[in-house]
Chains A and B, each alone.
Chain A
Amino acid sequence: MNFWDHPLVRRIAISCVIGIAVALVISEGSYYLLNDGTRRDPQTIELIIPAGTAEQVAAGKSVPSLPTNMTFVEGDVLLVKNQDVTDHQLGPVWVPPDATGSLALGEVNRFRFGCSFQPGRYLGIDVRPAGSSLQSRLLALILIGPPTIALIVVYGILVVPLKPASATGTRPQSLPAPVVTLSETGAAVNDMIHHSPNGKTVL
């Protein structure tokens, strides 16, 4: 009998296919239902502080390109290029003059930092969970898949028990059918025959 013809193997294989399909539907369905539109893959966000920014801020002018609250996702890298002649602080990133500073935003949180080029001197940073990374969706599939498969296999065995190989009408090829010749085993066969009182003979 071929390995894949074994009823248990076939049942596990079918359960795997169903389990993965169910896990895929659950994980992707949850993702699309829960995604509020702000979730995305982590990326590098580059901000340039142009020359003369410090003077503008000192004069009470706002830097128009920068909002007072910024939203990032977990894993984003905030890259700040300071082209000004003085050092600047953008939230958690402090950058000396004519240098580049970066920070990997690793934790979901809300921060309120000092900011040297906001007239209010403060900057709000909101770090949200990254939503659509292939890695996290694969992880969801890995976490949901195996328990679902196991559940389907157990459920299937309970609802439709496996039939013994003989009951399926096929005999495993790995076990050759015994060949019995009456001349050699006549006595043994005779012992297995029961003669019933009504004259019928049964094995």
Chain B
Amino acid sequence: MTGKVIRWGLALLATILVALGSLGMLLQPYSFRGSLIDPPVPATDFTLVDQHHQPFRLSEQRGKVVVMAFGYTLCPDVCPATLAEFKQIRRLLGRQADQVQFVFITVDPERDTPTRLGEYMQAFDASFRGLSGDMTELERAWQGFGVYHEKQFLDSAAGYLVDHTARVYVVDVHGNLRLTFPFGTATQDMFEDIQYLARERI
């Protein structure tokens, strides 16, 4: 009889502990992997042109999470790696992918024409928007996101390379700059943060 009571007692205790543990995990606030801007600041607005010659205004993307990278189509290392990560994140997002817009903004407008950007985006994902535009708007975008870029002239057919910021910027559904990811952040970590932000509603 005593043994039975102890067994039931232990089972009840185990159930309570498991329930409390689960509740604790559920109530724990989400911890972002990326670099969080808290409180969020309104993202600098700009209007550029995509590979289809369609205008892209950042403030018109509210309701979607905008994931941005700055680079150029002749980039030998960082840009292809970043866009390959974007492609992987988009695949991981599944149905939620419609809530996220991936954007690539050129730091080399002289060579990155909309046609060239279109071909480049096509190589990764046709839904990505490759943006270029007039220098005033590009400067506004670069400055607003603290983007560094500098030409490095080479004695080769490539002409020049562009040193540039390799950071990824995330603008939330409210149009606020919310997160940045330094280059090298694990794709899974970026995916989890973006997925979390994509669940938010206006």
Show the binding face of A for B, using Cβ within 8 Å. 2-3, 86-87, 89, 91-96, 99-104, 106, 113
Contacts and interface: CB of A to CB of B under 8 A. Distances in A.
A100 B37 contact: yes
A103 B36 contact: yes
B182 A96 contact: no
B146 interface: yes
A3 B35 contact: no
Given A3-B2, A94-B167, A104-B31, A99 B180 contact: no
Given A3-B2, A89-B146, A96 B41 contact: yes
Interface in B1-37: 2-3, 6, 31-37
Nearest to A89: B146
Contact of A101 (B2, B6, B31, B37): B37
A135 to B, nearest CB: 12
B110 interface: no
Contact of B36 (A87, A96, A102): A102
Nearest to B169: A94
Given A99-B37, A102-B38, A104-B33, A94 B2 contact: no
Given A100-B37, A101-B36, A103-B36, 13 more contacts: A92-B182, A94-B180, A96-B37, A96-B177, A99-B39, A99-B41, A101-B35, A101-B180, A102-B35, A102-B38, A103-B34, A103-B35, A113-B182
Contacts of A87: 146
Contacts of A113: 182
Q: Which of A92, A99, A104 has the most CB atoms of chain B within a 10 A radius of its CB? A: A92
A93 B35 contact: yes
Given A3-B3, A99-B41, A102-B38, A94 B33 contact: no
A96 B3 contact: no
A2 B38 CA distance: 61
Nearest to A100: B38
Given A87-B146, A89-B146, A104-B32, A95 B2 contact: no
11 contacts: A86-B146, A92-B35, A94-B35, A94-B180, A95-B37, A96-B37, A96-B41, A101-B35, A101-B36, A103-B34, A103-B35
Contact of B6 (A3, A92, A103, A104): A3
Contacts of A101: 35-38, 180
A99 B176 CA distance: 12
Nearest to B31: A104
Q: Of residues B6, B33, B177, B180, which shows the largest number of chain A Cβ atoms within 10 Å of its Cβ?
A: B180
Contacts of B3: 3
A92 B179 CA distance: 11
A95 to B, nearest CB: 7
Contacts of A92: 35, 182
Nearest to A79: B38
A101 B34 CA distance: 10
Question: Which 8 A-B residue pairings sit nearest by Cβ, starting from the closest?
Answer: A87-B146, A3-B2, A92-B182, A103-B35, A93-B35, A99-B41, A94-B180, A102-B36
A103 B35 CA distance: 5
A121 to B, nearest CB: 10
Interface in B166-193: 167, 177, 180, 182
Nearest to B185: A92
A106 B39 CA distance: 21
Contacts of A99: 37, 39, 41
